[in-house]
Structure 1
Amino acid sequence: MNDLTPETALQLYLDDKSKTAAESTIQSHSDRLSHFVGWFNEETDYEYLHELDGMDIRLWRVWRFDSDEHSDAYIKAVQDSLRVFLRFCRDVEAVDAQLPEKVHSPDGGQQRSNEIPADRAIHILEYLDRFEYASLDHTLFHLLWYGLLRVGGARAIDLDDIDFQNDRIELHHRPESGTTLKNGRHSERTIAIRPTTREILRDYVDTHRENVTDEYGREPLFSTEHGRAHQNTLRNRIYAVTRPCLHRDCPHDTDPDSCDAARRRNWACECPSSESTHAIRRGSISWHLRQETPKQIVSDRADVEPDVLSRHYSSLTDGEKAEVRRGELPDELGEV
């Protein structure tokens, strides 16, 4: 299998298509597929296209059509372009031979939010704390929300990275042993955790964590009986615990007993109201800013540049932004 990044593959594809297609067609394919490249770089921790599998294609579809503003014709055009692109990648042995045929048109536009609001996160955490305390799901959601972590960062944590004495977690980029951070060595950092987070982590490790090592002899925090949990496994866990039918009536008037998204964890992303790990991260960043956490602290903790934070992650109103800035102003001068 050839190692091709999505950017390189897209350029090769467009160069090849330019031999037979009109310029307008090339531009249309470029515009549609640029979203796929953006999703690959932002939502996965992969480097090469051959790391994609069928579940990733399903998650892409959910991410791309996250509102009801897209017509069926547009959805079909995007998915058809992606399928043709992946067939090109298959022909140059850059993706699994079966992957292109796993690109299907969605049943309809999804209706997810871009971020989970704090009140919804509270409901989810209350449910998990009451019914699934210190489970993998509870521990993962709690750590993503309060730690401002990407799912790849959470997956990379080993037991030895947790300092229970001083309430800290170290994040390390270890590509040589199967775990990477989004921005490589630049993403390495130490984060402080709350006492509540420490206790949930300790109870999870003592009672629910699978006591296994991974293929490199490391002890992953988030494990299955087979070793370190796959990133898609953790994503599916989040889709599952954010389904609203877990703690209230289904907003889509669907019977959970006959709903595949409710009955099958791996299909949870099909629920229009389930949420991605990225939505947790965005929601938590906005919540931290609303709590007047200084922007630089949020930036360092979340591994996001301050200008990106301002541009993409904060959904604060102008008034809320003013109050955050007020909290960062110095006190009045004392008597001289």
Structure 2
Amino acid sequence: MRLSHFIRWCNEQEIDNINELTGRKLHQYRLWRKRDGNLNRVSVRTQLSTIKQAIKLWESIDAVEPDLHEKVDIPELDKGENARSVMIEANQADAILEHLERFEHASRRHVIFLLLWRTAMRTGTLRSLDVDDVDLKEGYIRVVHRADYGTPLKNKSGGERYVAISDETCYVLEDWIEHLHPGKRDDHDRTPLVATNYGRISKSNIRKQTYWVTAPQFVNEECSCSSSPHAYNSIHECDDAVSPHALRRGAITHMIRSDVPKEVVSDRADVSSDVLDKHYNEMTEKEKMEKRRGYLKTI
């Protein structure tokens, strides 16, 4: 049902009659839905457009105040922007990592961003990792499906794999584990790699940390959105901050642009070749042509 999220929000807000809706409440719904669904601007625009059409219908039967649909704040998109184009670029990721290394070395936030960018793993995969899954001497992370212990993988046992990590990543993880890890265990008596003072980190916490470091203000750049000044608890309102999924998309695209073979990217990121081409390869048509040119110089 296309209005299911809106109905859920109304229930949470104890809105029993749609004639209680106002422009202010619709704005609150927009912020809630972006945060709750981990949505980019494209998805927010699509879902709010659905709400706007529904409100027009309700107006026609006098179920809501007149012209309420005009108060639905639908974000504008840049030319050519679509659901596949929302991602982080390699130069931005490098700037964030440089800032984290300098000012927040081996912090929880540093570990989260570093692993999401270097491995292109999903949020759920990152959350599933235990300290014992990391082999710093051999330089790899073991990814395991543990549904009975609270950390399933999206592709279940099919998503289990070994992920190689660089010496640089090992150094950061070693400092985190040895010096800054809170030492907390989860409800299943496991020691999460990414732990908080309360145990295993939540997916929402990972999302918020990602929004925070990808907002331009984090590296002392200006933001183009109207949400200013930014506060940690409202960082999801920044249109220039991106979600972990946008980070995964950017990391995969960066590997492809760097001539990493498709089968290697597929295995590392746990994504099929078909899905890789359809949803994650963000190379432009011209970039694809130039890459093909490199293999066809003698033809």
TM-score by length of 2: 0.75
Q: Describe the superposition over 1:51-80 as per-residue Cα deviations: whole angstroms up to 9, x where unpaired.
A: xxxx98443566164379669654534799
Map of 1:192 onto structure 2: 164
Map of 1:76 onto structure 2: 52
Q: Which runs of 5+ in 2 are unaligned?
A: 6-30, 58-70
- Find the aligned partners of 1:72 and 1:275 in 2 and give their Cα distance: 19
* Post-superposition offset of 1:177: 0.7
Answering whether residue 104 of structure 2 is matched by residue 136 of structure 1, we say no
- Find the aligned partners of 1:80 and 1:128 in 2 and give their Cα distance: 47
- Indicate if the aligned counterparts of 1:110 and 1:272 stay in contact, CA closer than 8 A: no
Among 275, 281, 284, which residue is 2:242 paired with? 275
Q: Describe the superposition over 1:84-121 as per-residue Cα deviations: whole angstroms up to 9, x where unpaired.
A: xxxxxxxxxxxxxxxxxxxxx97541769511011111
The percentage of counterpart residues that share the same residue type is: 35
Q: Secondary structure at the match of 2:42?
A: coil
Among 240, 264, 287, which residue is 1:320 paired with? 287
* Post-superposition offset of 1:324: 4.5
When structure 1 is superposed on structure 2, of 105-114 and 197-206 the one drifting more is: 105-114
* Post-superposition offset of 1:149: 0.5
- Find the aligned partners of 2:132 and 2:263 in 1 and give their Cα distance: 27
- Find the aligned partners of 1:64 and 1:141 in 2 and give their Cα distance: 18
- Indicate if the aligned counterparts of 1:129 and 1:138 stay in contact, CA closer than 8 A: yes
Map of 1:167 onto structure 2: 139
Amino acid at match of 1:206: E
Q: Describe the superposition over 1:277-307 as per-residue Cα deviations: whole angstroms up to 9, x where unpaired.
A: 0010000111000100000000000011001
Map of 1:101 onto structure 2: none
- Find the aligned partners of 1:128 and 1:79 in 2 and give their Cα distance: 45
Amino acid at match of 1:129: E
- Find the aligned partners of 2:141 and 2:217 in 1 and give their Cα distance: 33
Q: Describe the superposition over 1:167-201 as per-residue Cα deviations: whole angstroms up to 9, x where unpaired.
A: 01000110111001111111111011111111111
Pairs within 5 Å for 1:22-171: 29=2, 57-60=33-36, 63=39, 65-66=41-42, 74-77=50-53, 107-109=73-75, 114-171=86-143
- Indicate if the aligned counterparts of 1:134 and 1:208 stay in contact, CA closer than 8 A: yes
- Indicate if the aligned counterparts of 1:139 and 1:201 stay in contact, CA closer than 8 A: yes
Map of 1:43 onto structure 2: none
- Indicate if the aligned counterparts of 1:149 and 1:281 stay in contact, CA closer than 8 A: yes
- Find the aligned partners of 1:144 and 1:211 in 2 and give their Cα distance: 22
- Find the aligned partners of 1:78 and 1:288 in 2 and give their Cα distance: 42
Map of 1:245 onto structure 2: 217
Q: Secondary structure at the match of 1:66?
A: helix
- Find the aligned partners of 2:236 and 2:108 in 1 and give their Cα distance: 18
- Find the aligned partners of 1:225 and 1:197 in 2 and give their Cα distance: 23
Q: Secondary structure at the match of 1:169?
A: strand
Closer, same or farther: CA 177–255 of 1 in aligned 2, 3 Å = closer
TM-score by length of 1: 0.67
- Find the aligned partners of 1:237 and 1:71 in 2 and give their Cα distance: 24
- Find the aligned partners of 2:281 and 2:235 in 1 and give their Cα distance: 27
- Find the aligned partners of 1:110 and 1:231 in 2 and give their Cα distance: 28
Amino acid at match of 2:250: G
Q: Secondary structure at the match of 1:213?
A: coil
Map of 2:12 onto structure 1: none
- Find the aligned partners of 2:150 and 2:295 in 1 and give their Cα distance: 40
- Indicate if the aligned counterparts of 1:289 and 1:324 stay in contact, CA closer than 8 A: no
Pairs within 5 Å for 1:285-300: 285-300=252-267
Runs of 4+ in 1 over 2 A off after TM superposition: 55-62, 64-81, 105-108, 110-113, 248-256, 317-329
* Post-superposition offset of 1:122: 1.2
- Number of matched pairs: 254
- Find the aligned partners of 2:161 and 2:214 in 1 and give their Cα distance: 28
Q: Secondary structure at the match of 1:250?
A: coil
